[in-house]
Structure 1
Amino acid sequence: MNVKKAAAIFSITFPIISAILIINFFTGVISIPWQGMPVFFPLILSPIGIILALVLIKANKRCAIYGIVLNAIMFLFPFFWFIGGTLLFGV
């Protein structure tokens, strides 16, 4: 496997992993010891995925665009979650 294929796979895998952790946070299917951390993971993983997608953009434009869009959505999720929680619950 060459480096560009690995970058494509990782740039799309990071938002999928973040989404799975957030869905598990909401549903509680699997108990994890770090209770609020799945909401913070996109803040760490998404910039890495965006950088990988930007490196990949000349080799495989379609996968790179998917990676950038998915990572951007996942990066913004924690901010929407915190703002929505403040607006709804007033904490």
Structure 2
Amino acid sequence: MPAAEPHDLVRTELDRVARRWRDLPVDRALAAAPGLRRLAQELADETAARQGRPVRELPDLGPAVLLDQLLVTCFDATEAGVEQAGLAQRLSTLRSKLTQA
């Protein structure tokens, strides 16, 4: 069986994070929200730096849209050339933290 492509690894980890996030009880999601927000902001910052744009803080729209913000920033980061295997690993780490939340 061939090794998974890096893009496939990111998609797989994003799907896993999304499933885990949606399954969290509200109190645990609220406790885990800062970690999800932190990764989304890091990706937004890295994308801006790669594109020569100023860094801007993501709007705090609450935990209900954090997953959407992460999905968008992951897409933007991959389009900007952020290293895929490293991104997949960061998502895996986030998922592990969600599991512990």
The structure with higher relative contact order (CA 8 Å, sep 6+) is 2
Same fold (TM over 0.5): no
With structure 1 as the length reference, what TM-score do the two structures score? 0.35
Larger C-alpha radius of gyration, 1 or 2? 1
With structure 2 as the length reference, what TM-score do the two structures score? 0.32
